[in-house]
A and B are shown apart, each in its own frame.
Chain A
Amino acid sequence: MVGDGVLEQLKREGRIVVVGASLAGLRAAETLRAMGFAGSLTMIGDEPCEPYDRPPLSKGVLLGRARAERTALPRLRSVDATWRLGVPATGLDMAAKRVRLADGDEVPYDRLLIATGVRARPWPREEEAELDGVFVLRTRDEAAALARRLDEGPHRVLVIGGGFAGSEVASACRERGIPVTVAERGAAPLVGALGGVVAAVAAGLQREHGVDLRCGVMVTALEGDASGRVRAAHLSDGSTVETDVVVVSLGALRNTEWLYGSGLGAGPRGIACDAGCRAFDIRGIVTDDIYAAGDVARCPHPLFGYQFLSLEHWGNAVAQAGIAAHNMVSESVDRLPHMDVPAFWSSQFGVNIKSVGVPSMGTEILISQGSLDSRRFVGVYGYQGRVIGAVSFDHGRWLPFYQELIERTAPFPPQFPTVDRHAGGQRPVDADFPDPSVPSHGPTVTLSGYSPADRRMTFTPAH
């Protein structure tokens, strides 16, 4: 068969280029080699360092327990690649099958994997963002710089945005005894990801740990002193927070700008791809040589109405990279769908938070085990009469059960008794999610409709 011959030739002497040298890119490269790909492999990354692990950056690194430079990802196998590190990709020529680099080079490919991920959303006013003491947290260098500043013992840290990353930063500061203010536009921290019922628990946790938590407010301006160091932040309620370190934690931007004009279905919401990780072009036609994986990808999920789902989750990056790599060197009938149920974890204020499914799609919540008061519980989210997500506070070992409920679209509310069911867990209540059209800290799971070519969404900063 002709097709067999082409695939065999690709595996033997083809050229595969991976743009994005982080978790998804590395795991994809390893899978390609494990699948017997013997051709040339080029890894392109805008950061000058080898692939590293990000979860420790907002936890151990800020606590001074781990060094940012020592977070390199363990290698599962040799990838024997040409590494082009510190050189961002700047363009894609789909017809000529070439990736353009910032240094003017062009790299030809037979198969391309895009895993360029996301970057921290910067503070929208450039001159304020450039003040000394204003940080974002996404990369190793950013974490190292922030950790150094925390070592100096600032008088107060202001965290703008009470999402998971912002809350973890606040937690690290409190653990180090540094006064911290969290300014959150929503009603409580984590409200965008988990809804108001659970967010109220997170708010209690923060206050109990001494966080000066300000909700329902926006930061309107950052003010610097004569030497260009940040000294205060002005809030929409008219108050002022004197601070010498500001951490801007307003979610992430997808690294897709380099693809604009290429004809690929890439936009602010990510790169649309099919369940097999093949990218769509802007006409909604699936390409056969360009794949996407990790935070930058958005793909339809059968469990969630086939809406495109984008996930900023560690586990998703690993799983999707594996599927993409597998499919890049497989016949169409051997391709696998990426159907992992979303899952993530966070560690803050001594509590382990885990979630499965898409809680933010839920309209109701039932506390099925434990209690909100004890801050040890499982909350189940319901959407149109079925279980759609679950969250646990220090109850993570139960989540596989709830994942199964989500996978088999079990009815909501669940009718059965469980161990440790409290009076408050007898009836579901409104999960109390904010209006999704109002951007706050940005949940890390986003449903983004059915159109593969959506370029229309714009983010309007809160001013």
Chain B
Amino acid sequence: MTPTLLHQILDYANRADPYPIYEELRKTPVHHETDGAYVISTYYEIRSLLHDPRISSDARNVASGNADPPAESAPEESALPPSFLRLDPPEHDRLRRMTNRHFGPPHSPHRVDGMRPELHDIVGGLIDGLGDPGRIDLVEEFSYPFPVTVICRLLGVPREDEARFHTWADTLAASLDPDPDADPAERGKDAHEARMALGMYLAGLIEERRKNPGDDMLSQLATAKGQDGPMTTMELLSTAALLLIAGHETTVNLISNGMLTLLRHPEVLQRLRTEPRLAVPIVEELLRFEPPVQLLPGRTALADIEVRGVTIPEGSALWLVLASGNRDPQRFENPDRFDPDRPDIQHLGLGSGIHSCFGAPVARLEAQLALAELARRLENPRLLDDPPEYRQNAVLRGPRHLRIACDGIRP
């Protein structure tokens, strides 16, 4: 029996290049498999559904029987409540608004831009510390430690605790992967335990920040008295866990996918070396071409919704395959070409609508600085393995290792 398209997407054998499957998928823009989710793969349909108020992100709306990531779908007395990623308005709006108060405009317009010099130093330090230039694992030595350090500084999480929360974060990121072959009960249990452990860890930290507040986001969230009042402790823990995980699991892949793509397009890498401002369109094109979040699997139809002549029944689970929409030839000319000079790169890589990537300004800045500096400082860099070894996750897709070599490191 031919494996279904859903299985093919999730099949690790296709991790290095899922794009031919997406192309196949787009032949049926609304694809449904028996007892499974409705998979949406074309640009305009995905974009419409991202703004559609008949679509819920609340895990509690998922009808039983639908394959769905169990990470936050089984809240128990002792577990953390869902983060705003898995809530609908008005709860979502309230929590996101309260969090944004300490992160972006209008209340904190300088937060991200003010980190620019600090980010520059972190990037410089990591490149200085690269080992043998003949054998660099860019993931281990650069694209993982960089965003972790940044999110720790931003939140006020001690960098030296990384070893502790790393495992929990990995387990939770893995639980987002809707792997149909894994035992959902087992995965749910692992994810639940990881959330509990992370919650306990953050609770201790927040207690500490309440006593000795700094200028980090955890301190500000813990002591806030905005027009929405303070977050409850449980809300605060969920939000902090969300930011900590989302703050690095995705950016790692953006940077790794970015360097991989540039090494496959040496002419663009060469241009970036001499024109650092090109980092801005390069990162946008990367978010289109190799988005770190490939698909959004956790949404539910609250009503019968007609999409391209197909009625998606109320209660159905939806998968929005962002990475496929980004390669839709109806929207992008030569979609399989990596071209930072595209006049109009309105990609879906960061989502759209109310759940669009909260950390986008930081992620963009991190990737721009990282790629520009790697391009400038690595002498004659080249890939040692192509394709590289990928991580298991089909949703948060990126290399587990990215082995490269170069002739030396420029000062």
Contact = CB atoms under 8 A, between A and B. Distances in A.
Contact of A398 (B56, B58, B90, B354): B354
A418 B53 contact: yes
B90 A401 contact: no
Interface string B32-58: 000000000000000110011111101
A374 B227 CA distance: 12
Interface string A382-412: 0000000000000001111100100000000
A401 B303 contact: no
A401 B93 contact: no
Contacts of B313: none
Contacts of B303: 416-417
- Majority secondary structure, B binding face: loop
B270 interface: no
A354 to B, nearest CB: 13
Nearest to B48: A404
A400 B356 CA distance: 14
Contacts of A457: none
Nearest to A396: B354
Contact of B302 (A398, A401, A417): A417
Given A418-B54, A419-B53, A370 B90 contact: yes
B88 interface: yes
B54 A420 contact: no
B214 interface: no
Given A398-B354, A416-B303, A370 B51 contact: no
A266 B361 CA distance: 46
B90 A374 contact: yes
B87 to A, nearest CB: 10
A398 B106 CA distance: 20
A116 interface: no
Contacts of A121: none
Nearest to A421: B53
Given A398-B353, A398-B354, A420 B90 contact: yes
Nearest to B356: A397
A401 B53 contact: yes
Interface string B54-71: 111010000000000000
Given A398-B53, A401-B48, A419 B353 contact: no
B89 interface: yes
A376 B96 CA distance: 14
A460 B79 CA distance: 67
B2 to A, nearest CB: 36
Contacts of B56: 419
B52 A401 contact: yes
Among A368, A378, A397, A404, the most chain B Cβ lie within 10 Å of the Cβ of A397
A16 B328 CA distance: 38
Given A397-B51, A401-B53, A417-B54, A370 B302 contact: no
Contacts of A369: 53, 89
A418 B302 contact: yes
Nearest to B90: A420
Interface in A400-454: 400-401, 404, 416-420
Nearest to B58: A419
Given A398-B53, A401-B52, A401-B53, A420 B88 contact: yes
Contacts of B354: 397-398
A378 B54 CA distance: 14
A397 B353 contact: yes
Nearest to A352: B106
A302 B194 CA distance: 56
Contacts of A376: 90, 93
A419 B106 CA distance: 26
Nearest to A378: B53
Interface string A58-80: 00000000000000000000000
Contact of A419 (B47, B48, B89, B352): B89
Contacts of A404: 48
Contacts of A416: 54, 302-305
Interface in B259-317: 302-305
A399 B53 CA distance: 10
Contacts of B93: 376
Nearest to A400: B51
A417 B52 CA distance: 11
Given A397-B352, A401-B48, A419-B53, 15 more contacts: A350-B106, A370-B90, A376-B90, A378-B53, A397-B356, A398-B51, A398-B53, A400-B51, A401-B52, A401-B53, A416-B303, A418-B53, A418-B302, A419-B88, A420-B90
5 contacts: A369-B53, A376-B90, A400-B51, A400-B353, A416-B305
Instruction: List the 10 closest pairs (A to B, CB-CB), nearest first.
Output: A418-B53, A420-B89, A419-B88, A416-B303, A400-B51, A401-B51, A397-B354, A397-B353, A417-B302, A419-B53
